[in-house]
Structure 1
């Protein structure tokens, strides 16, 4: 018999005063949670579910099987953990509000803008500069398409694509991440000025990748994909409960990174929306995003222009998915996600700024009430 525990925030409020202080600040951000589901999963099935508030959480955790106690206490502590900023070159990226990561694809077959910035490097530099000017905290450079059906790219070709783009971005003072699952590309990217590794395989694809990241002492984003260890990231999806299965898989990749010598403060987690997941899977994960704070690391969400938006919008083409992209980015912000990875930086930054104004105002909404 195998038991697992999960603490999922299910009641989010504008601020702690709306609950007379009986709410927590979720992951040190601008989102507050007042109600939680404590879920016991036994042999893959939900066995019991309790509801708790901050002032009753200790009582609920005291009812759990002894073997789940330490994990439950760790998750509860993680939900209130304020994450330190990332120091990325000359830039500091703070997580007290959501940040925007801008996408720069230098690929020939990306689903969104394949070929545009690979064939015209000057256009790529201009696009990166515009994203930084618009408020992107990080520019994420990728040289290999990870869309379904894309063919794997030889690491030498990938290096040839990403290094000039990284050098250009670093040269303008941007914080730069590299979207790759290959250790040799990671090494070349870091040498060219990249500050963060964004690995869609969660360091599972290349046996040397964890060693490279640990030696560099750089931050790394670990994404979930069912086929992470193989060539096809989307292969092998078989979920009993997609939310808990992805949670468990990310925890396992996190633990492997820690065992490889990567500092806990350098780890970000990404549930991998669209990677080996159905529309129903993606919707379930997005609705459950607050749960993933229980793992204790900043969250990265990549939903921009993805297939699920078309599926919910009369098969809207890629270039017609801005509204859906903004809606999903704001949903991530409502869940306390620290980083949203997007194509449309200016529009998303504007949405974030309005979102933040609403959040700031909510903290004074109850200031004139007694008590």
Structure 2
């Protein structure tokens, strides 16, 4: 999130409240781990590292949506909203632990991923067995611990609320968790499919974007905040109309940054998505344009090199240049702008009061116009 908009997370006790809740979970996990065995203490350290680097974007969308639907800072329900925001951050940590294993990512936010850290420690300690298997196993368990903590924090958030409000918020949270898991599966499936239909590749890519990222990153947090304020179904529908296009634009920006971003800013090596064979809208558009123009060399390069785990810097540069040359980068930028305009038009249609409206507009801009 750009620095100018980071203040949105600092206002009205938001960041302090979220960070305090997360710190309580880390402290509780560390105490439990140490009580079981000193050998378990690295688990708490790893969870703490993952939680330390987040932008708190999802928690901010939740909080300011709550404010937009009548929430008052300092009242009894604010604690519940902050805890719900912490639950979202813990869920994101769980998803990232698992996602990094499935993608075999080497870095996260500029630091080695958890499975790589534990694999390296396995080697350094001269332990028996396969170091990679050990690292992957630990990271999966870390994701499970963060998921357990997320559910605990959401349960505490909803405990003191009126039953209809708690039930509505819980349904949003449960749907989000299920959708992300299914979206992750669809992402894995997409990477196994043959390169024989660019239109179908884009359909699958958009499906993954919406299910795995857009709803979980933006739509569900906005809807959750409104639900915690007791908003009616019409208001929740308005939140969805804002959140889905904005969330899709958010993820499409992420896809562009994965190829064109500065590693010192994104915290990930350039070209990781290309090495992992991510079936993004960007790659699908490039393949479609190369096919339409009869550029068989470009088609062969895209289908043969996207997904090559051994792709070196020159190979990444070649593919990146091809994505630009086919017009795919420009087309995805245009799609982001279309989705952005759709989301902002929907924000205006909701008639949200100040200061929540301005805060949500600024958050929306930060989500789309980012460099990391």
> Which category of TM-score, normalised to the shorter sequence, fits these structures?
under 0.3
**TM superposition score normalised by structure 2:** 0.23
Structure whose residues are more often strand by fraction: 1
